[in-house]
Amino acid sequence: MPEQPYAVQLSGMTKRFPTATGEAYTAVRDIDLAVAPGRFVSVVGPTGCGKSTLLNAAAGLMPPSEGTVHVYGEPLQGLNRRASYMFQQDALLPWRSVLDNVTLGLRIRKVPADERAEQGRAWLERVGLGAFAAAYPHQLSGGMRKRAAVAQTWIVDPDILLMDEPFSALDVQTRQLMENELLTLWTGSEKTVIFVTHDLDEAISLSDEVVLLSAGPDSEVVGGYPVDLPRPRDLMDIRNSPEFNDIYRRIWSDLRNEVMKSYERRARTLQAG
Amino acid sequence: MSDALARSKPASTKDGAAVDDRVTPTEPPVRPPAPDPSVKKSAGRAWLRVSPLVLGLQLALGVGAIAGWQLLTQVGVLDTFFFSQPSRVAVRVWEWLTTGVIYDDLAVTLQETFLALVIGAALGLFVGFLLARVRLLAAVLDPYIKILNAVPRVVLAPVFLLWFGLGIWSKVAFGVTLVFFVVFFNTYQGVREVSRVLVDNTRMLGASESQLIRHVFLPSALTWIFSSLHVSVGFAIVGAVVGEYLGSAKGIGYVIAQAEGTFDTTGVFAGIVVLSVVVLLVELLVNRVERRLLRWRPDSGRTDVA
């Protein structure tokens, strides 16, 4: 038990999945991760290292096989009601208009309709979708759908935001724009963010801390790297600063090892198979 | 286990249809909604886009077939006793419509169709939901559902006549047994196939089980049900008419059976014409309803903009 409660704390968390052959597949092993309230923490690792498993555990969508999950000092039971989750895939309801999608969380909380619409429109303005309230998700571009998803997760004013490679499907330009906007939203909001990505660049420029996971299966935490770049940050400038490059080089040398390991492991499985 | 129910479904329906091709349209009930919504939509409006050549040939084919029929009966190659004549059929239909004798029967048939559709769909929706959400129940009931669906419906007609009498309810019951399975299988599939991410996302936004049903499962199942609505409506009409044909005192099926009983071929054909026109009109209505309710879907050709 920590002295001051962390927003999210995973202790000794292991997650196994049953496989078709009957053996258990261990996605992550013995993970300790503590995120203090109001921090922006990124989790980075090679593809398939169980980054999403961490988020699912923190969300309560997938209880760990071993270990514990605490949210603000309380053991997590069922779903994490203080968190919103932004998925990698599109999670907007295709049969609802953009406005109805954005206000879905409010509707579930039984907020009156006029108040809902008012807040929804304000959020749509904020994410630049003011003109698209009545559109259906399929009519939006990928980037616009992500904006709607941001509004959908933020409108319920969660204490914790779990983001699973939210911008990985976007082109580079749209992605930078979205990252900048996310940072603007987050600044001063005092929300805790756990941001999963495989892009080190994105992780460093957004976060207070980068947590590196080892290659899967059996992923472990390789280390945590504080990012003490000054805020507010301009993502276009920050990437050229010498401090950024120092941090980048330090994490990259460790990350490269893990990536190589995962390549070797995959090559071995291929040869064996 | 319960997946077996979903997988075996088209096969079992086809079996049912093969045994009983007199009553059951052979089209399998399930059409997956997402992959290809464009097909039906464009089919609905296809006649607007056909080229003048195709339209001309279509007209020529129809006119030619009817004229040929008229000619062959006129010169005596076909016996009018067995084949009647387009002109006579037209006159009979006109008489029915102007004197109004057919409207009562038409009203009864449509009433039976409507009731069979509503009751069958409601039951199918409810049971489909229940089985999709309660895996144990689906596993237990799986063989019985297959058995029931394999029963040729037409043999149930005498039973329903005994139970519900000669009035509309025996026909409604008959139609319900047809509509139920279409809607049931589609609902079951629709609920089971909901994207995991949509469910998780809605749950993370705080939804309870009942809110989940309302915001995610029901709309998803409805898209499946609406894409099978054409089949369901067809089944409901088939149920009503065949039921009437086998024993009743009113309805288009009854009119056809009466005409048949007096060797009145003209009456049989006139009944068929009236029925076909009604089915076409209902089909148009279904198209409109479908287009309105499923308007959130991607337009034809454009499925997903990445």
| B48 residue type, one letter | L
CA torsion B234-B236-B237-B238 (nearest 10°) is: 80
Strand partners, A187: none
A8-82+159-272 — its CATH code?
3.40.50.300
Region of B100 please: left (phi>0), alpha (psi -120 to 50) or beta: left
What's the mean pLDDT in B76-82?
A: 88
Task: pLDDT band for B8, please (50, 70, 90 cuts).
Answer: very low
Q: Is the pLDDT of residue B140 over 90?
A: yes
Q: Which of B273, B279, B280 is nearest to B88 (CA)?
A: B273
Residue B56 lies in a domain: no
Nearest Cα neighbor of B32 from B10, B14, B59, B58 is B10
Q: Tell me whether residues A95 and B296 touch, CB distance under 8 A.
A: yes
Indicate the pLDDT class of residue B277, thresholds 50, 70 and 90.
very high
Question: Quick one: closest CA in A to B306, which residue?
Answer: A142
Interface test with B, best of A102, A138, A163 (most B CBs within 10 A): A138
- Mutation site for B-interface testing, chosen from A108, A110, A164 by largest number of B Cβ within 10 Å: A108
- B11: pLDDT strictly greater than 80: no
Q: Does a structural domain hold residue B57? A: no
Written as six digits, the tokens of B97 are 């419509």
pLDDT of residue B48: 59
Residue A74 has pLDDT above 60, yes or no: yes
- State the pLDDT confidence band at A273, using cuts at 50, 70 and 90: low
Q: Looking at chain B, list the stretches that DSSP marks H as alpha helix, in order from N- to C-terminal side.
A: 3-19, 38-44, 46-49, 52-75, 80-83, 86-99, 101-133, 135-150, 156-164, 168-192, 196-204, 209-212, 218-227, 229-246, 252-261, 265-293
Query: Residue holding tokens 């409109």?
Result: B288
Q: What is the pLDDT of residue B225?
A: 80
* Res B220 pLDDT > 80: yes
Chain A residues within 8 A of B204 when measuring between CB atoms: 59, 61, 79-80, 83-85
Q: How high is the pLDDT of residue A98?
A: 94
pLDDT at B298: 73
Whether B299 is covered by a domain: the verdict is no
**Which stretches within A103-241 are classed as H helix?**
104-108, 113-126, 142-154, 172-186, 200-206, 235-238
Q: Is the pLDDT of residue A13 over 60?
A: yes
Q: How confident is the model at residue B9 (pLDDT cuts 50, 70, 90)?
A: very low
Highest mean pLDDT among A250-264, B118-132, B291-305: B118-132
- Residue pair B250/B131 in contact (Cβ under 8 Å)? The answer is no
What average pLDDT score do residues A20-42 get?
A: 88
By the 10 Å C-beta count (0-12 exposed, 13-18 middle, 19+ buried), B66 is classed as: middle
Q: Grade residue B20 by pLDDT with cuts at 50, 70 and 90.
A: very low
- What average pLDDT does the segment A217-240 reach? 85
Vertex B80: Cα angle to B78 and B85 (nearest 5): 95
> What's the pLDDT score for residue A235?
82
CB–CB of B203 and A105 under 8 A? Answer: no
CB contact under 8 A, B198 and A93: yes
Least confident of A267-271, B29-33, B241-245: B29-33
Share of chain B above pLDDT 90, in %: 49
Report the C-alpha gap between B185 and B193 in whole angstroms. 12
Share the mean pLDDT of chain B: 81
- Is pLDDT above 90 for B193? no
Name every chain A residue with its beta carbon within 8 A of the beta carbon of B201.
Answer: 85, 87, 91
What pLDDT is recorded for position B124? 92
Which chain B residues are Cβ-neighbours of A85 within 8 angstroms? 200-201, 204
- Indicate the burial class of B264 (C-beta count within 10 angstroms; 0-12, 13-18, 19 or more): middle
User: Lowest-confidence range among A198-202, B103-107, B225-229?
Assistant: B225-229
> Which DSSP helix (H) or strand (E) runs through A84?
strand A83-86
The ranges assigned to domains in chain A are 8-82+159-272, 90-157
- Domain membership of residue B74 (yes or no) is no
Predicted confidence at residue B295, as pLDDT, reads: 79
Q: What is the ipTM of this complex?
A: 0.88
- The residue range of the domain holding B93 is 3-40+80-293
- For residue B26, what pLDDT is reported? 39
B292 close contact with A: CB closer than 8 A: no
User: Chain B residues with CB inside 8 Å of A90's CB?
Assistant: 197
How many CB atoms lie under 10 A from the CB of residue B26?
Answer: 10
- Mean pLDDT, residues A158-167 taken together: 93
What is the per-residue pLDDT for B6?
A: 46
Query: Coil, strand, or helix at residue A27?
Result: strand
Neighbouring residues of A39: CB distance < 8 A, sequence distance ≥ 6: A7, A192, A193, A208, A209
- The domain tally of chain B equals 1
- Decide which of A170 and A118 is more confident: A118
- Measure the CA–CA gap between B86 and B78, rounded to whole angstroms: 12
Which domain CATH number covers B249?
Answer: 1.10.3720.10
Whole-number pLDDT of residue B266: 93
Per the domain annotation, does B66 fall within a domain?
no
B291: closest CA of chain A, how far (Å): 13
User: In this complex, do B296 and A91 lie within 8 Å of one another by their Cβ atoms?
Assistant: no
Tens of pLDDT, residues A95-122: 999 999 999 999 999 999 999 999 999 9
Burial class (CB in 10 A: 0-12, 13-18, 19+), B283: middle
Sign of CA dihedral B201, B205, B211, B215: negative
Asked if the Cβ–Cβ distance from B215 to A104 is below 8 Å, we say yes
Find the mean pLDDT for residues B38-60.
Answer: 69
**B255 in a structural domain:** yes
Pick the residue with more confidence: B206 or B21? B206
Residue type, B260: E
Average predicted confidence (pLDDT) for chain A: 89
Both tokens assigned to A247: 């941090």
- Within 195-224 of B, beta carbons closer than 8 Å to A belong to 195, 197-198, 200-208, 211, 215-216, 219-220, 223
Count of C-beta atoms within a 10 Å radius of residue A202? 20
Q: Please give the structure tokens belonging to residue B164.
A: 């519900």
What confidence category does residue B190 fall into, taking pLDDT thresholds of 50, 70 and 90? Answer: confident
Task: Answer yes or no: is B114 within a domain.
Answer: yes
Radius of gyration of chain A (CA): 19
- Select from A61, A93, A111 the residue whose CB has the most chain B CBs within 10 Å, as the one to mutate to test that interface: A93
Residue A168's pLDDT is 87
Give B33 to chain A, closest Cα distance, Å.
13
CA-to-CA dists, residue B165 to A201, B180, B293, angstroms: 76, 21, 37
Contact A170, A143 (CB under 8 A): yes
**Phi and psi dihedrals of A226, rounded to 5?**
-70, 140
Low-confidence winner among A144-148, B3-7, B181-185, B258-262 (lowest mean pLDDT): B3-7
Of A231, A219, A194, A212, which is closest to residue A71 (Cα–Cα)?
A194
CA distances from A119 to A100, A136, A156, B183 (A): 11, 19, 10, 38
Q: Which of A81, A107, A142 sits opposite B306 (nearest CB)?
A: A142
Task: Name which of B31, B36, B34 is nearest B9 in CA terms.
Answer: B31
- List the single range of A153-157, A211-215, B274-278, B296-300 with lowest mean pLDDT: B296-300
Residue B156 neighbours by CB distance under 10 Å: 18
